[in-house]
Structure 1
Amino acid sequence: MKPAIRSAARRLARATSALALVAAAGAAHAQTVTIAMLNNPDMLELKKLSPAFEKANPGIKLNWVILEENVLRQRATTDITTNSGQFDVMMIGTYEAPQWGKRGWLAPMTNLPADYDLNDVVKTARDGLSYNGTLYALPFYVESSMTYYRKDLFAAKGLTMPEQPTYDQIKTFADKLNDPSKGTYGICLRGKAGWGENMAYVTTVVNTFGGRWFDEKWHAQLTSPEWKKAVSFYVDLLKKDGPPGASSNGFNENLTLMSSGKCAMWIDATVAAGILYNKQQSQVADKIGFAAAPTEVTPNGSHWLWSWALAVPKSSKSQDAAKKFIEWSTSKQYIEMVAKDEGWASVPSGTRVSTYQRPEYKQAAPFSDFVLKAIQSADPTHPSAKPVPYTGVQFVGIPEFQSFGTVVGQSIAGAVAGQMSVDQALAAGNAAADRAVKQAGYQK
């Protein structure tokens, strides 16, 4: 081989090996961000739009773990408490963020870029995800609860839904509208066991019936007259006017029933409005009416406050990349992307003041001002007419609530399914709640 050719060959070999090193370095720098995500429609939309984030950030690859609500909570809690670092981004809520932030388990959401415009994020949402003034998660959407109903079915029976219904009125409507022979049920409500499934809703019923989880000395109150009245009302209503198998229905199952025209009424999260009013996703989009969540003896705690939010566990090895993804998925720009893809009615609700100022949103979402007011008026510091030693409307803001709240949820689901009486369910629940706070040292 001639010297010139040999020299060229060596140069080529050197260049090729240098390119290989660059490629290897690039591959080494490409970070995988593993996301523990809820399987609700808004979150599935996020996954659908996420290639835009990967395209803008070629060094980051997203790995999605999409889970049913109860499973997500279990997996996220196990991961964070064992410090295993399985997830880089976790979808958590207003229950977990302050508690986990307090324990140093989450990376603070500080030093956000100026164009993120944190002041545009609804203050109630920021406060609910903070501990001691430090923000530990960014809200993906914020919700309260409200009443949905079928305007056409109400009109056919000559019924009028008040702006602020009472539970007695809801029962009267459900009795008149229940028509199983036509596949329509008077009311759909959460029955699936779980502290964030059936107990989120049931606790608001208990609150407005004048009940509370604990008295000021942390004695469980589940066998009180208010709990018995509230839970008996709920169980009887579902048994008489609800769909079959109601004890298996959570948010997603009831959303499917309502959007396919099977429910005359549904009391649940305000976030469902965007789906029910979307003609592509709802068969009854032009027939949906809305009202406030019902009250009974007090308005206190009658409608909840919740945020599904995104947080970075301290155990994550890719914290900067994870934070970058969270900033993108909770940004104004992301809201614009959803509006373009699904229409303004379907954008994540309750998070940004600017969304509620958009004429396009107001026009597409007739429920928008109503929802914002419900979110801003829910008061986690006064969830009951009687004084309580905890905060939280639809949950008790202590770490032990996850376990005893789910135990109570299982007992109440058992009462809906006819496996036990309400009295038996509440006696078992009361014992579990009392035992948990006693062991944790809360009881005075």
Structure 2
Amino acid sequence: MRRCLVALLVVLSIVAFSSVTLRILMEDVPETHIIKALLPEFEAKTGIKVEFEIVQYMDMHTKLVPQLMSPECQYHVLQVDNYWAGEFPAAGWLEPLDEYVKRDKFDLSVYLPSMLQMVGYYQGKLYMIPMYNYAMGLIYRKDVLEDENLKRKYREKYGKELSVPRTLEEYVQICEFIQQNTELYGSAMQAQRGDPIVMEWSNFLFALGGDYYDEKWRPRINDEKAIKATELYIRLLKNGAPPGATAFNLDDAFRVMSQGKAFSMISYNWMLAQLNDPEKSKVAGEVALEPMPGGVGLNGGWGWAIPKNSKHKEEAWKFIKWVESFEIAKKRALMGGAPTRFDVFTDEEVVQRYPWYPKVMWLVMYAKPVPEFLYSAQMIEIVGRELSLAAAGEKSIKSALDTAAKELEKLARMAGLLK
């Protein structure tokens, strides 16, 4: 009798949700397609249908904001980039998740603290559940560094061994050397104006100990470390990157690297699984991952959230619980996804397939995100604009960074953060 009652409740639950369709705006990256392939499992289990609207990153913010400001959001679950992890909750657009977590005993302890801090909590309240990471590091060709002829030439020129670079200056030097002495580009760069150039350049900034703001929210983006980082970045663009790299986004950079035309790239760790896939890459088995030369790189990630103005909050939470369950999170990882959970990063089967995942976990734990506040998106636009002008030679590096610093100070003042 008891079993029959439980079965009846399950059936009634499925029937109740069967008329619901959740719409989710998703970025066109591998993780999205991995989850999309698993959606039939969720639909069969719950009766809830899920529709992904898959777009390029540059279109996401402009699509989301009007919906979040409307009486009712047409997207029932949100994929929130860490760039917006301060803006969206500060604007009151996200449903707090603390009560959902408490009610359903959803275990947050399995997530890396760096991910929960970046795409979880905002001012002490939980608004997001970490979805996937895109901590950045150095992806490079092992076979190139092992080439005996190159090693000899490098030793003759610089008096030291050709090996994985440990400083930013050494990385730029090695890329220039490889571009001068082989048919390869030194680095498959993504220097397109806006988000791509900012993402890549931030690794140079953080590797040298620089930052956007100091602890009192005064801009640091034009100090000596930022100037040196920008000098090295533009030097690499000019001497170690493909022609036209100032118009490249991550897809363009991946194409160059996967076709075997470059030695390296400063990129998202999840690229490694794609580059080691023989069906997608000519350099499968020859690429490896290391932390950003000289220091930590950029941390980035996405979180799941529920719009405050959604009419399907319970169904949205049911989807988040499913997609973030250990079973599904592990399946995503085995399919080449980018985990956010300790237990997935260290799972025996996952590590057997992707031996570099423990190293990725270290990257995610210690990488540094951009500042998250109400105007993070505007900050990225400003810095991207000024970096592009400097890279094109239309402004000096100092002038570009000084302009960025003045505008970043205004943003911090508007947000009430400047002390």
| 1:145 and 1:270 in contact (8 A); partners too | yes
Counterparts of 1:253 and 1:371, CA distance in 2: 23
- Asked whether the 8 Å contact 2:206–2:298 carries over to 1, the reply is no
Matching of residues 113-152 of structure 1 within 5 Å: 117-128=107-118, 129-152=120-143
> 2:121 corresponds to which letter in structure 1?
S
The alignment partner of 1:50 has SS state of: helix
Q: CA deviation at 1:287?
A: 0.6
Alpha-carbon deviation of 1:148? 0.8
Please name the residue that 1:422 is paired with. 397
Q: Which has the larger Rg?
A: 1
Contact in 2 for aligned 1:185/1:243 (Cα 8 Å): yes
**Structure 1 position 168 matched with structure 2 position 158:** no
The match for 2:5 is none
**Does structure 2 retain, via aligned residues, the 8 Å contact 1:99–1:131?**
no
Residue 167 of structure 1 aligns to which amino acid in structure 2?
A: L
Contact 1:203–1:394, Cα closer than 8 Å, also in 2: no
SS of match in other structure, 1:111: helix
Amino acid at match of 2:275: L
CA drift at 1:82: 4.7
**1:90–1:313 contact (8 Å) kept in structure 2:** yes
Residue identity opposite 2:56 in structure 1: E
Give 1:253 shift: 2.6
- The residue that corresponds to 1:223 in the other structure is 222
Aligned partner letter, 2:257: M
Equivalence for 1:72: 60
Tell me: CA distance 1:30–1:287, structure 2 relative to 1, closer, same or farther (3 Å).
same
Structure-2 separation of matches of 1:219 and 1:76 = 30
The secondary structure found in structure 2 opposite 1:349 is coil
User: Which residue identity is paired with 2:115?
Assistant: A
Look up the match of 1:412: 387
Equivalent positions of 1:315-330 (< 5 A) are 315-330=309-324
For residues 198 and 319 of structure 2, the distance between their equivalents in structure 1, rounded to whole angstroms, comes to 32
Aligned equivalent of 2:189: 189
The alpha-carbon deviation at position 98 of structure 1 amounts to 5.2
Q: Which runs of 5+ in 1 are unaligned?
A: 1-25, 379-392
Aligned AA (1:188):
A
What letter is aligned with 1:135?
L
1:294-333 alignment, distance < 5 Å: 294-295=293-294, 299=295, 302-333=296-327
State the alpha-carbon separation in 2 of the partners of residues 98 and 432 from structure 1. 18
**2-structure distance, mates of 1:40, 1:101:** 24
What whole-Å deviation, never above 9, does each CA across 1:212-268 have from its counterpart, x for those lacking one? Answer: 323455443333332222112101111211112212223333223222222201112
| 1:369 is the counterpart of 2:368 | no
Q: Distance in 1 between matches of 2:202 and 2:285?
A: 31
Secondary structure of the structure 2 residue equivalent to 1:88: coil
Distance 1:146 1:187 in 2: 13
CA distance in 2 between counterparts of 1:439 and 1:399 reads 9
Answer yes or no: is the 8 Å Cα contact 1:40–1:252 preserved in 2.
no
Distance of 1:435 and 1:408 partners within structure 2: 13
Contact 1:100 1:106 in 2 (8 A): yes
State the match for 1:399 in structure 2: 374
- CA RMSD across the alignment: 2.8
User: Distance in 2 between the 1:373 and 1:53 partners?
Assistant: 31
Instruction: Tell me the residue number matched to 1:235.
Output: 234
Partner of 1:52: 41
How many correspondences in the alignment? 391
Q: Distance in 1 between matches of 2:104 and 2:198?
A: 39
The CA deviation at 1:181 is 8.1
Which sections of structure 2, spanning at least 5 residues, go unmatched?
A: 1-14, 152-160
Residue of structure 2 equivalent to 1:62:
50
Q: How far off its partner does 1:174 sit?
A: 0.3
Relative to structure 1, the CA distance from residue 441 to residue 361 in structure 2 (aligned partners, 3 Å threshold; closer, same or farther) is closer
